[in-house]
Structure 1
Amino acid sequence: MARTSTDQKPHTPFFSRPGVRRLAPFILITAIALVFIFENRASIKIRLLVPEVTMPLWGALLIAWGLGMLASAFTVRRRRDRRTR
Structure 2
Amino acid sequence: MAQTSTDHKAHTPFFSRPGVRRVAPFALITVIALVFIFENRTSIRIRLLIPVVTMPLWGALLIAWGLGMLGCAFTLRRRSNRHSQRPE
Superposition TM-score, scaled by structure 1 size:
0.90
Q: TM-score, normalised by structure 2?
A: 0.87
- Runs of 5+ unmatched residues, structure 1: none
SS at match of 1:55: strand
**Equivalent in the alignment of 2:7:** 9
Whole-angstrom distance in 1 between the partners of 2:55 and 2:30? 22
- AA aligned to 1:20 is V
Amino acid at match of 1:28: L
**SS of residue in 2 equivalent to 1:49:** coil
Taking the aligned partners of 1:33 and 1:6, their CA distance within structure 2 comes to 43
What are the superposed Cα offsets for residues 37-57 of structure 1, whole Å, 9 maximum, x if unpaired?
A: 001011000111111100000
Which amino acid letter does the alignment assign opposite residue 49 of structure 2? L
1:60 shift after superposition: 0.2
Cα RMSD for the two superposed structures = 1.5
Count of aligned pairs: 82
Matches within 5 A, 1:68-83: 68-83=68-83
Matches within 5 A, 1:54-65: 54-65=54-65
* Distance in 1 of aligned mates of 2:7 and 2:79: 31
Cα distance, 1:6 vs. partner?
Answer: 4.1
Percent of aligned pairs with the same amino acid: 73
Q: Match for residue 21 of structure 1? A: 21
Could you tell me which amino acid in structure 1 is paired with residue 51 of structure 2? P
User: Following the alignment from structure 2 to structure 1, what is the Cα–Cα distance between the partners of residues 70 and 31?
Assistant: 17
User: d(CA) in 2 for partners of 1:6 and 1:26?
Assistant: 33
Structure 1 or 2: larger helix share? 2
